Chains A and B, each alone.
Chain A
Amino acid sequence: MAEIVRRPHLQNFIDWSADKPEVVVLTADLTNSCEVGPWRDTYPERYFSMGMAEQNMMGFAAGLAREGFEPWLHTFAVFLYRRPLDQLLMSVAYPALPVRLIGFLPGVTTPGGVTHQAIDDLAVLRAVPNLTILSTGDATEVESVLDVIHAQPGPVYVRMLRGEMPRLFPQSEPFTLGRARELGPDHSAYGPDHVLVLTEGICTEEAMRALPAVRERGVQVRHLHISTLKPFDDPTVLDALAAAGGGVITMENHLRTGGLGSAVAEVMADAGIPTRLVRLGLDDTYAHGASQGHLLAEYGLDAAALVRAVEWLTGEPLGITAEDLTELRVADVHSTAKAEAL
């Protein structure tokens, strides 16, 4: 059972900002929903409410960045790249300005339905030159991603988690740019036919639920958690792909198109790695409003879906039941940790 952390960003971002006067926050009417209401009350002189007008917010952020400030835009992810995409590209990304796009509600982490679910952000934004793309998978990454973002001279987009979340990774192992996290037991003795699983965001927790049972049944599975989506050049990932003769599975809180699975496919094709690749993600479909657990199961992004993918790759039924899957946590849709109804 993992430790459950409640709203780690809220106080951590306040503390982290104390000695960084250049950090300013811009919001678009989702201040408490993005856990920066207390930040606003702590630093009112460097908080700017931009209203429901994201195109203009992108431009103001660009102007502030040109003058030496570091704007941290807090809103729902969909509102950072869908409506203001041209502004993101021309006002922010082309001039490579240090604007920080903190995108909440990645993928199906919200019951808000299609309008609020950023299932296509990686596909859209991986095609934006100069932009760094990150994804958080637990409380430790939500906390430690701030330093990674701050160190980038150019613009950064991050899939941010809010509310209650597990701490999957020790705080002594912070988010590191371009470095995959090695999870699971020692894999050094794995044979050439082992399977490699790559996951991002909340799908990592799902994989950590599934893989102990899979390994107990004798399948050798290596697991890497991916938190830097762009640039996607981690040599550990390339080596792991080349070594996984039994096949590769990607699982992401995103469309099968254009995200982690696509990035992996590109690397494999470039390197000529002749291994089967199973990409788990939303399959050319929008989602709808329902709980995270329900949607992960419906679209095949949960622990059980990963088990099925391993079975398909190995050709062997594993006989794993729902009870065999590790309970990392029980998500509560009506948790008091929810910032708002949305």
Chain B
Amino acid sequence: MEPDLDRMAAIAHGIRRRVLEHTLKNNGGYMSQACSAAELLAACYGGAIRMAQVEQPYEPPPFTAVPAPGVEPLSGAVVHGPSSPEADRFIISPAHYALVVYAALIETGRLAEHALEQFNADGSTIEMIGAEHSPGFETTTGSLSQALSQAGGIALARRLKGHTGRTWVFLSDGEFQEGQTWEAVQALAHHQVTGVRVIVDVNQAQCDGPMEDVMRIEPLADRIRAFGASVDVVDGHDLTALTEAMDRESDKPHFVLAYTDPVRGLPLLEQRRPVLHYLRFISEDEKAAYADAYAELAGRSL
């Protein structure tokens, strides 16, 4: 099926708009992650990942309890629709992208429109750093770099069970600083776990600032290929290139490195370089400037 690029572009626009709206209302948010990953997540939720349809947007329940032995847990994966041998799975690794993920789920009709009002509210499952009871999260991955290994186990199990669906992982580039990520790539290649496919937001920014200054990971594509996986490098804002790379046949675990701009669609954010990890307004003037940017982006005032 041909990807609906117009719909994906609309989803990407909606992600930026919703995250900026939330950031203005709450005087803070993970804004640069929305700017970098908007097209990427729009592609994922807009059809490039083959997840089941849902009947209606999910009404997030209040938090009840953490998992315990023998208790059926609340799973954030319900927004991906019923799981089946054929359906793709989607695992979010950088859990601090939660706000962006929730926005994408709302844009694609998988999460109730008003869910963001519960963001980071006491007793809510719409947590700031998503855990596996939060919509969109199958696993608990706020401690970065653990999702790829878990996805490897899930995909290995699915291969043993004869599933045809793929197991997708959304990674952030900073996670390639962790040794476990490389252990996982090594194991995926060794055991030929080709059911795993990975899309990486290579925004080259991390909590302390530019990755170039904090800890270099380049040449990333060469490194991953040397570990035995296949790699496509694309402009992470080019939906045509993204969807083609995500659909590429490979006899290896496949990585799509989506190089992105963490201020794309919101040039005002440029003033915040080099530290882009979290946007909190430092003055009323700055907040007003972002409100103007919102009006331009949304075509209406907040």
Contacts and interface: CB of A to CB of B under 8 A. Distances in A.
Interface string A11-40: 000000000000000000000000000000
A169 interface: no
Contacts of A96: 67-71, 73
Interface in A51-108: 51, 53, 55-69, 71, 86-87, 90-91, 94-96
Contacts of B140: 90-91, 94-95
Contacts of B47: none
B179 A55 contact: yes
Contacts of A65: 153
A154 interface: yes
A59 B67 contact: no
B68 A59 contact: no
Contacts of B68: 96, 130, 154
A147 B208 CA distance: 49
7 contacts: A51-B186, A56-B152, A65-B153, A87-B146, A87-B149, A95-B140, A130-B68
Given A56-B184, A90-B146, A91-B146, A63 B154 contact: yes
A66 B69 contact: no
Contact of B150 (A48, A91, A154): A91
B190 to A, nearest CB: 7
A59 B158 contact: no
Given A86-B143, A154-B70, A58 B149 contact: yes
B160 interface: yes
A95 B153 contact: no
A59 B70 contact: no
Contacts of B153: 59-67, 71
A93 B198 CA distance: 25
A50 interface: yes
B180 A95 contact: no
Contacts of A56: 149, 152, 180, 183-184, 186-187
B149 A59 contact: yes
B258 interface: no
Interface in B108-136: 132
Given A48-B191, A69-B160, A94 B67 contact: yes
Contacts of B149: 55-60, 62-63, 87, 91
A66 B154 contact: yes
A96 B68 CA distance: 5
B226 interface: no
Contacts of A87: 146, 149, 180
A314 interface: no
Given A51-B187, A53-B186, A95-B139, A59 B156 contact: no
A137 B157 CA distance: 34
Interface residues of B, number: 36
Interface in B150-186: 150-158, 160-161, 179-180, 183-184, 186
A332 to B, nearest CB: 38
B66 interface: yes
Nearest to A60: B153
A63 B156 contact: yes
Contacts of B234: none
A152 interface: yes
A91 B154 CA distance: 12
Contacts of A155: 69
Contacts of A86: 143, 146
Nearest to A67: B157
A330 to B, nearest CB: 42
A63 B152 contact: yes
- Minimum-distance CB pairs A-B, first 9: A63-B153, A59-B149, A154-B69, A67-B157, A56-B183, A60-B153, A53-B183, A63-B154, A153-B70
Contact of A67 (B67, B146, B147, B161): B161
B146 A59 contact: yes
Contact of A63 (B66, B67, B155, B161): B155
Contacts of A129: 66
B69 A130 contact: yes
B148 interface: yes
B184 A90 contact: no
Given A48-B191, A87-B146, A91-B149, A60 B156 contact: yes
A71 B132 CA distance: 21
A340 to B, nearest CB: 23
Interface in B182-218: 183-184, 186-187, 190-191
A55 B156 contact: no
Given A63-B150, A91-B146, A91-B149, A53 B187 contact: yes
Contact of A62 (B150, B158, B191): B150
A62 B157 CA distance: 11
A43 to B, nearest CB: 12
Interface in B60-100: 66-71, 73
Contacts of B139: 62, 66, 91, 95
A59 B160 contact: no
Contacts of A55: 149, 179-180, 183
